[in-house]
Amino acid sequence: MARHRGRGIASINYPIGMNLGGDPSQALVHSNPSGKFTVSLSSIDLGQGMKSVTRQICAETLGVPVEDVYVDTADSDTGPHCMGSFASRGTHRVGNAVMAAAKEARGVMMEAAAEELEVNAADLETDGRGNIHVKGAPHRSISTKDVAIAAQFKQGKTISGRGIFLVPLSAVDPETGEMSPATCYAHACLVAEVEVDDETGEVAMVRMDSAYELGRALNPRLVEQQLVGGAWMGISHALFETTEPYYPDPSRGPRDFVEYLMPGPGDICPHDIAVLERPAADGPFGAKGPGEMCANPVMPAVANAIFNAVGVRVDELPITPEKVLRAIKAQGGPRPQARR
């Protein structure tokens, strides 16, 4: 009776937003007379940070500090149409819509500033700190606040913009499956190390190392939050969770968190993550999105690590102690594979 360590890997890709329904998102951006901007959306922040990411996209595009932007969502009377937050589409679809709206608003803002400074709008630039100045002549400057006041009360202009992002619906060929399902893909590779107890069948996570390529990481801390949380979900899917423990027999389903098992703090492990950024041609500032895919590599990596540790293949999720133990017994004991 012993504990055996093993390592396993998995590498994956993931489509960012799906074009099979043709589901666009819209955004509106407008300034109040103090030069503070509101982004109006009907999109949902599930806790993943969509409000924060779209806020940064809007601020970057307008050329104003992020503190000057507030994202308001989700109200069907004020927010323009969005199908919803799913299919890893938030950053890519909503982000692009916000970017388009912010570009239009920025155009008006620069025109209004040009009128105040009596120059051509093409000669102006933003400093990202709330000022607009003539290129190469920072002293010829006006604050976005003064521009907003002038636009509202003097020039009669609305500093506002509309944005939509639509990837047209893709047909699917019934015979070959030819289609354009997505415009960009995120990538990942994960190494899991586990320890398998050949007496109990229990699998303990030892550590994980991973690399995720997500296009541009718009907010690295939110990316980290997604990847750490997603890996937890991956461990949970790999080793713990199901609503039907004896599927396809539907009986004995758990009804609460006493019966439905998930990893606690003692069941997780250190996770060392690298993020690569290969910008997507049509992503907002090259972003793709980490949302869904981060749980996916964990399950097969853990299964492969279990094989490396004790030589059994469990091809049914979740990989419970019962399944591991039965498999070890069926092959007449643990057969540790070459350490790697």
Query: Can you read off the two tokens belonging to residue 234?
Result: 């991956």
Shortest Å distance, C-beta 160 to other proteins: 20
Q: Decide if residue 96 touches other proteins (CB under 8 A).
A: no
Residues 172-191 that bind other proteins (CB under 8 A): 172-182, 184-185, 187-191
Choose the binding region for other proteins from 106-114, 133-141, 146-154, 314-322 (rule: CB under 8 A): 314-322
Side-by-side strand order, sheet with 69-72: 69-72, 37-40, 25-31, 160-165
Shortest Å distance, C-beta 96 to other proteins: 14
Compute the distance between CA of residue 189 and CA of residue 275 in angstroms, rounded to an integer.
11
To which residue do tokens 């006006």 refer? Answer: 142
Query: Of 137, 244, 329, 339, which one interacts with other proteins (CB under 8 A)?
Result: 244
CA atoms within 13 A on the CB side of 155: 19
Query: Can you read off the two tokens belonging to residue 3?
Result: 């504990």
Query: Of 255, 265, 266, 330, which one interacts with other proteins (CB under 8 A)?
Result: 255
Q: Decide if residue 132 touches other proteins (CB under 8 A).
A: no
Query: Of 40, 56, 96, 144, which one interacts with other proteins (CB under 8 A)?
Result: 56
Residue placing its CB nearer to other proteins in the complex, 39 or 150: 39
For the chain, the first-to-last Cα distance in angstroms comes to 22
Residue placing its CB nearer to other proteins in the complex, 121 or 275: 275
User: 251: which residues sit within 8 A by CB, 6+ positions away?
Assistant: none
Shortest Å distance, C-beta 42 to other proteins: 5
Neighbour tally for 46: CB within 10 Å: 12
Contact by Cβ (8 Å): 177, 171: no
Contact by Cβ (8 Å): 284, 277: no
Residues 277-306 that bind other proteins (CB under 8 A): 277-281, 285-286, 291-293, 295-297, 299-301, 303-304
Choose the binding region for other proteins from 37-45, 112-120, 145-153, 157-165 (rule: CB under 8 A): 37-45
Choose the binding region for other proteins from 27-35, 112-120, 134-142, 220-228 (rule: CB under 8 A): 220-228
- Residue 214, classified by CB atoms within 10 Å of its CB into exposed (0-12), middle (13-18) or buried (19+), is buried
Q: Decide if residue 222 touches other proteins (CB under 8 A).
A: yes
Give CA separation, 194 vs 199, 232, 267, 316, in Å: 15, 14, 11, 18
Q: Decide if residue 254 touches other proteins (CB under 8 A).
A: yes
Residue placing its CB nearer to other proteins in the complex, 4 or 7: 7
